[in-house]
Structure 1
Amino acid sequence: MDTKASDCHTIGGFFNIDGKKLQRQYKDSLSDFQAWEHKEHAKDYLLFPENIGPKLSIDETALSKGELYTIITNKYSRGKQGSIVAIFSGTKVEPIIEKLLTISSKTRSKVKEITLDMANSMKKIVTKCFVNATQVTDRFHVQKLVNEALQDIRIQERWNASDIENNLILQAKKEGKQFIPIEFDNGDTAKQLLIRSRYLLTMDPSKWTTNQMQRADILFNQYPLIKQAYNVAQNLRIIYNTTTVKEVAYTKLAHWYNDVMKINLKQFGTVINTMQINYKTILNYFDNRSTNASAESFNAKIKAFRAQFRGVRDIDFFLYRLTKLYA
Structure 2
Amino acid sequence: MYGVKGKKFRRQYKKSLSGFKDWKQKSHAEDWIIYPENCSHRLSLDEVVLSEGELYTVLTSKTARGRKGSLVAIIKGTKSEEVADKLLKISRKTRQKVKEITLDMAGSMKLIAKQCFPNAMQVVDRFHVQKLAAEAVQELRIQYRWEAIDLENEIVKQSKDKKVKPEIQIFENGDTRKQLLARSRYLLYKSREKWTENQNERAEILFEHYPDIKKAYLLADGLRKIYNQSIPKSVAMLKLAHWFKDVEEAGFKSFSTIKNTIMNHYNNILNYFEARSTNAAAESFNAKIKNFRLQLRGVKDKAFFLFRLAKLFA
Same fold (TM > 0.5): yes
Moved >2 Å (runs of 4+): 14-21
Between stretches 57-66 and 130-139, larger displacement belongs to: 57-66
The Cα offsets for residues 78-124 of structure 1, whole Å up to 9 and x where unpaired, read as 01111111101111111111111222211100100000000001001
Instruction: Provide the aligned C-alpha RMSD in A.
Output: 1.1
Structure 2, unmatched stretches of 5+, are none
AA matched with 1:42 = A
SS of the equivalent of 1:76 reads coil
The normalised TM-score by structure 2 is 0.98
Match of 2:281 in 1: 294
1:136 aligns with 2:123: yes
Q: Say if 1:257 and 1:27 are closer, same or farther in 2 by CA, change over 3 A.
A: same
1:15 and 1:224 map into 2 onto residues whose CA distance is 68
Match of 2:69 in 1: 82
The Cα offsets for residues 219-263 of structure 1, whole Å up to 9 and x where unpaired, read as 000110110111111111111111321000000011011101110
1:114 and 1:71 map into 2 onto residues whose CA distance is 12
2:240 and 2:165 map into 1 onto residues whose CA distance is 52
2:212 and 2:271 map into 1 onto residues whose CA distance is 31
AA matched with 1:198 = R
SS of the equivalent of 1:77 reads coil
Match of 2:313 in 1: 326
2:293 and 2:6 map into 1 onto residues whose CA distance is 17
The Cα offsets for residues 150-182 of structure 1, whole Å up to 9 and x where unpaired, read as 110111111111111111111112222221311
Match runs of 1:180-199 below 5 Å:
180-199=167-186
The one of 79, 90, 93 equivalent to 1:103 is: 90
Contact kept? 1:243, 1:249, Cα under 8 Å: no
SS of the equivalent of 2:37 reads helix
The one of 256, 261, 274 equivalent to 1:269 is: 256
Shift of residue 15, structure 1, vs aligned partner: 5.7
Match runs of 1:117-132 below 5 Å:
117-132=104-119
1:175 and 1:41 map into 2 onto residues whose CA distance is 71
SS of the equivalent of 2:63 reads helix
Q: How many residues align?
A: 314
1:50 and 1:128 map into 2 onto residues whose CA distance is 20
Shift of residue 16, structure 1, vs aligned partner: 6.5
Match runs of 1:223-302 below 5 Å:
223-302=210-289
AA matched with 2:304 = F
The normalised TM-score by structure 1 is 0.94
Contact kept? 2:149, 2:178, Cα under 8 Å: yes
1:112 and 1:15 map into 2 onto residues whose CA distance is 53
Match of 1:38 in 2: 25
SS of the equivalent of 1:63 reads strand
Match of 1:8 in 2: none
The one of 271, 292, 299 equivalent to 1:305 is: 292
Between stretches 144-153 and 236-245, larger displacement belongs to: 236-245
The Cα offsets for residues 192-219 of structure 1, whole Å up to 9 and x where unpaired, read as 0000000001111111111111000000
SS of the equivalent of 1:68 reads strand
AA matched with 1:264 = G
Fraction of identical pairs, as percent? 57
AA matched with 1:51 = N
Match of 1:7 in 2: none
1:224 and 1:16 map into 2 onto residues whose CA distance is 69
Contact kept? 1:57, 1:115, Cα under 8 Å: yes
Contact kept? 2:84, 2:112, Cα under 8 Å: yes
2:4 and 2:173 map into 1 onto residues whose CA distance is 56
Contact kept? 1:153, 1:267, Cα under 8 Å: no
SS of the equivalent of 2:265 reads helix
1:164 and 1:15 map into 2 onto residues whose CA distance is 66
AA matched with 1:276 = M
